[in-house]
Amino acid sequence: MNTNDQIREAFAELAARAPVPDRVAAGIAGRSRAIRQRRLLLGAGGAVAAAAALGVPALFLWPGTPSTVDELLSPVRWRGYPMPFTPSWLPDGFNITQRRVTTGRPGPQRREWHLNPLHLHPRVQLELKLGGPSPWPSASTVDINGTPGWVSHSKYSASCSWQPFEGIEMRVSVAGEPDEPDTDRGAQFAETVVRIARSTGVGHVEYLRPTMSFGWLPGQVPLRLAFERHDRPDGSGEMASAFISGESRRVIFAGVFDRLDDSIRLEEAQKTTLRGRPAWYVPPDPQTETQGPGTFVVELADGRWLFAATDPAEGGPVVTKDDLSRIVETCRLD
């Protein structure tokens, strides 16, 4: 058999692995709707168009309708982790600054948008949590696309939670400048969070593909792993984080960023070599840090900076300087 015949046979074999037509056909109508919606958003005037252009990520739709939390949150091989219930409306001018997904198994997710990424406020935050709804006692009820929701507000913030899917609670919150004197924008913010919540849908998905992950971690306690993407003018990059399982406390983290955080002062650090690259060990500052082992920083060949540090917590793992060095050496980068 010559190469040409072998190639024909190989292609025939590959064609036999084609996806099932029924499943593909089932997803086409949904995608058409999404494409129509994208066109409408881009074509519309005012706040919706601005939101679509500036802050709201492109939407995708599933091939089918997920029926379990596992199906809803499991990664798609080449796209990454789905982040469902993406809003198709945000107030004017908000840009996405952070996305976080739990990796390895279904878990919490978080996204943040800022009007000015260099300022903490105003901020829109969208969280996905596993479990049933947990509204504030003082919250009032609203309808979110046929599902009960709960909205509450203070002078400078508002939040709305609802259960759009069995086993999932979504919460969107808006926070303004807390130091604005004599203002009460709570009612306005409450309208905003409800509008954002109503603009989400189960099929409104964006994907986050982890581009870095831990290779080795100390194994004393179970940890929940997460991947984050940060998009900020003062430094964009990716982070792998380990949380105390079931808690929101990040205890170990490693990141690759295009800029080094201003707070890390290499001139006072000890020079070393990690991953075959110039590296620095920044000892813990007794004035500002707890009992952590400090920070390691590596200058990568592509000009980015890899760093790793810990945030010790009660019940969390004890991480030594050697452990942290091993974490840096074994981090997997795409």
Partner 1 sequence: MPRGKHSSDVTFDEYLSHRLAALLRYATVVTCDPHLAEDVVQEVLARAQLRWQKISRLDMPEAYLKRMVLNEFLSWRRRRSAMHVPLAREPDAPDPAEAISSRDALLRQIAMLPPQQRAVLALGFYEGMTDAEIATFLDCSESTVRSHRSRALSTLRMVQEVGR
Binding residues for partner 1 (CB under 8 A):
3-4, 6-19, 21, 23-25, 27-29, 31-32, 34-36, 63, 76-79, 334
Name the residue nearer to partner 1 (CB basis): 79 or 119. 79
Name the residue nearer to partner 1 (CB basis): 121 or 209. 209
Look-up of token digits 């996305």: 99
Name the residue nearer to partner 1 (CB basis): 3 or 273. 3
> 11-38 burial, b if ≥16 CB within 10 A, otherwise e?
eeeeeeeeeeeeeeeeeeebeeebeebe
**What is the nearest approach in angstroms of partner 1 to the Cβ of residue 334?**
7
**What is the nearest approach in angstroms of partner 1 to the Cβ of residue 34?**
8
Name the residue nearer to partner 1 (CB basis): 27 or 133. 27
Name the residue nearer to partner 1 (CB basis): 182 or 334. 334
Residue 141: how many other CB atoms lie within 10 Å: 11
Name the residue nearer to partner 1 (CB basis): 95 or 211. 211
Start-end of H helices in 16-127: 21-43, 46-54, 69-73
Residues 316 and 244: beta-carbon distance below 8 Å: yes
Residues 178 and 121: beta-carbon distance below 8 Å: yes
Rounded Cα gap, residues 192 and 172, in angstroms: 10
**What is the nearest approach in angstroms of partner 1 to the Cβ of residue 21?**
4
Chain centroid, CA 197 distance in Å = 18
**What is the nearest approach in angstroms of partner 1 to the Cβ of residue 66?**
16
Name the residue nearer to partner 1 (CB basis): 6 or 74. 6
Residues 254 and 307: beta-carbon distance below 8 Å: yes
DSSP 8-state symbol, 211: -
**What is the nearest approach in angstroms of partner 1 to the Cβ of residue 12?**
8
Name the residue nearer to partner 1 (CB basis): 24 or 318. 24
**What is the nearest approach in angstroms of partner 1 to the Cβ of residue 38?**
11
**What is the nearest approach in angstroms of partner 1 to the Cβ of residue 236?**
18
Helix (H) or strand (E) holding 195: helix 186-198
Rounded Cα gap, residues 239 and 55, in angstroms: 21
Name the residue nearer to partner 1 (CB basis): 65 or 290. 65
> How do 332-333 and 206-208 pair as beta strands?
unpaired
Residues 137 and 151: beta-carbon distance below 8 Å: no
- Angle between helices 21-43 and 46-54 in degrees, nearest 10: 120
Please give the sequence-ordered ranges of beta strands (E in DSSP) within the chain, or none if there are none. Answer: 81-83, 95-102, 109-114, 123-130, 140-144, 147-153, 157-165, 168-175, 206-208, 212-213, 223-230, 237-244, 250-257, 270-274, 277-282, 295-299, 305-310, 332-333
**What is the nearest approach in angstroms of partner 1 to the Cβ of residue 266?**
30
**What is the nearest approach in angstroms of partner 1 to the Cβ of residue 24?**
6
Rounded Cα gap, residues 303 and 83, in angstroms: 30
